Amino acid sequence: MSGPPRAVALARLHVRAALAPLAVEHPGALVLVACSGGADSLALAATTAFVAPRLGLRAGAVVVDHRLQDGSDQVAADAAARCRALGLDPVEVRTVQVARGPGSGGPEGAARDARYAALGEAADQRGAVAVLLGHTADDQAESVLLGLARGSGARSLSGMRAEVGRLRRPLLALRRSETEEVCSAAGVDWWTDPTNAGDGPDAPLRSRVRATVLPLLDDVLGPGVVDALVRTADQLHDDDAALSALARDLLSAALVDEDGPGRVLLDVAVLEAALPALRTRALRLAALAAGCPAGALGREHVLSLDGLLTRWRGQGPLHLPGGVTATRVCGRLVLEPPHH
């Protein structure tokens, strides 16, 4: 008697690996699948519906309607109906308002922020111990390429994490074509987002990378580009984790005082003696602790902050995102939130 198709078995293996520790720590708990109605998230929904009960967990789904396309409400309703047909319960649709204009982080970033906020609220209200996301190896490869194009460091090039807080990404080892196989094996039709196939100048950047750049790299460099980019992300993730841990230790050693909410005082001598890779990471952590928004804090800000240590010429306060100021005073680097 033959077993399930290879893609189905692979998906079940990875979802089981992600859920098994939760089943031990939280028997009978609820996990939620974030479902858009596309092949990736529906493959995850079908696989979770199979795996979770066998581990003693309950499985539900959340569909987020961003209201960015005509008919999005029907797409969301169809996705919810498919999740219910797979046996997931509870299943809910959440409608969000996506921020627009300056400071929103762009349409893709704003949609992501709104989606993650809605998923977090759903998990809180339902008491879910995890939210499962359907990102695949193709998504990971796209993230690495986008990071390279932006001149990002190891933290960005290490791609998406398999586990961040309550978020789990069990399908990062699967290709997008394999999630379609999982859906076909489950008898589930999926929705294809028209923006994902777009390669015109008005299409989202990630969609253009997906439709144009990755196929071109496959043609020029040969098949295996996606797998190579994923391996790069995995290796950089390990490096980044090690450097980040050392940077946290450095920040603790340099911390002189936290004088009130957000105000951070650091010992200049301790930071100056550190390796640049650790020092800049520690400075970024300090800036975040002082109130700089993570999405607005760029490398140029961190390097300017580093200049107060390595290129000190008596310069005045440095103004950072979020209204944070940094000043060097009497051998101390002082980071202060606005209106301190």
Stated pTM of the model: 0.79
- The two three-digit tokens of residue 282, written as one number: 């520690």
293-323 pLDDT, tens digit per residue, is: 877 888 899 999 999 999 988 888 999 998 9
Q: How far apart are CA 281 and CA 287, in angstroms?
A: 10
* Statement: residue 15 has pLDDT above 50: yes
In the β-sheet with 30-34, what is the strand arrangement from edge to edge?
Answer: 91-95, 58-65, 30-34, 130-132, 167-168, 163-164
Predicted local distance difference test score (pLDDT) of residue 104: 44
Q: How far is CA 81 from CA 90, 190, 321, in A?
A: 11, 12, 43
Residues contributing to the annotated binding site:
36-41
Q: How far is CA 52 from CA 34, 47, 174, in A?
A: 15, 8, 19
Q: How far apart are CA 154 and CA 181, in angstroms?
A: 33
Q: What is the SS3 assignment for 160?
A: coil
Residues contributing to the annotated binding site for ATP:
36-41
- Sketch out the chain's domains with CATH numbers: 6-225 (3.40.50.620), 254-336 (3.30.465.60)
In the chain, the amino acid numbered 291 is: G
Q: What is the SS3 assignment for 230?
A: helix
* Statement: residue 111 has pLDDT above 90: no
* Statement: residue 117 has pLDDT above 50: yes
The distance in angstroms from the start CA to the end CA of the chain is: 70
164 phi and psi angles, rounded to 5 deg: -140, 105
Predicted local distance difference test score (pLDDT) of residue 158: 83
